[in-house]
Copies of this chain bind each other. A is one copy, B any other.
Amino acid sequence: MSSLPPPSTEGTPPANGGTGVATPAFSPLYQQIKGLILHSLQHGEWKPGEAIPSEIELAARFRVSQGTVRKAIDELAAENLVTRRQGKGTFVSTHAERQVQYRFLKLLPDSGDARVEGPAQRTILECRRLRASAEVARSLALRAGDSVIQIKRILSFVGVPTILEDIWLPNQPFRGLTAEQMAHYQGPTYAMFELDFGVRMVRAEEKIRAVLPDETQAQWLNVTPGTPLLSVERLAYTYNDVPMELRRGLYRTDTHHYHNKLS
């Protein structure tokens, strides 16, 4: 939608130029539509798990063709922000009610990829407010000294403690979070974040190293101090690349492994 009037231009489809002179960057229409849908997604016009309007409806709303809306939604689906179901509609993705729960947990049991183990048992060791260290602040794009929540917990599979985690959350969006909430919610923690705080983790990056635990870490994981462990440092982001969680995990890899697909 840049120059000449394509069949119907009485509404207000997002303009491309308009403000300046020669188009500085050129953003195709479907990208602009994608941006509008994303905006609605962020601002909670549709909640996780709900259906968004049909392609035809959205096309009418934005005064573009169905094909353009389709391409916008295609990209959102490719980014896992939205899930298409033929014959039913397009739904806002959620970490809950998802075949692949624990989307971000790449640790699998060595034998049998299936999750016969069932979900992890959680033990909360600690949950407190404190001032962000310089490093935590930098990761979470806060100022050093801002209030953050720190949670320390153990995840066990079939009774065996396997993951020791430290989680840092900005206090602001997670005000009121309690250890009980962390412990008692059934299902993925990220699903609880969606439900109780409206925070959706959309993507994450992990840095992985091999380390040796200190004595207390070794005790929590029930291993000897000489046992090598995987150190997994995760930064999880909401919409717009806003970091929302820093997580440091120690993974036992004697019965499990970190699995990754490359392409």
Contact = CB atoms under 8 A, between A and B. Distances in A.
B262 A205 contact: yes
B260 A202 contact: no
Contacts of A253: 208-211
A258 B209 contact: yes
Given A226-B226, A228-B229, A229-B228, A261 B203 contact: yes
Interface in A222-241: 226, 228-230, 234
Copies of the protein in its oligomer? 2
Given A210-B230, A228-B229, A202 B258 contact: no
A263 B208 contact: no
The DSSP consensus for interface residues of chain A is strand
A14 to B, nearest CB: 22
A259 interface: yes
A228 B205 contact: no
Nearest to A80: B263
Contact of A79 (B210, B226, B263): B263
A138 interface: no
Task: Select the residue from A203, A206, A212, A228 with max chain B CB neighbours within 10 A.
Answer: A228
Contacts of A177: none
B208 A260 contact: yes
A208 B261 contact: no
B209 A259 contact: no
Contacts of A258: 207-209
Nearest to A78: B78
Contacts of A104: 262
A261 B228 CA distance: 23
Interface string A181-212: 00000000000000000000011111111111
A209 B230 contact: yes
Contact of A210 (B106, B203, B210, B259): B210
Contacts of A80: 263
A162 to B, nearest CB: 13
Contact of A263 (B202, B234, B259, B263): B202
Given A208-B257, A209-B253, A234-B262, 18 more contacts: A78-B78, A79-B263, A80-B263, A203-B261, A204-B263, A205-B259, A206-B261, A207-B259, A208-B230, A208-B253, A208-B260, A210-B210, A210-B211, A210-B228, A210-B230, A210-B253, A211-B253, A226-B226
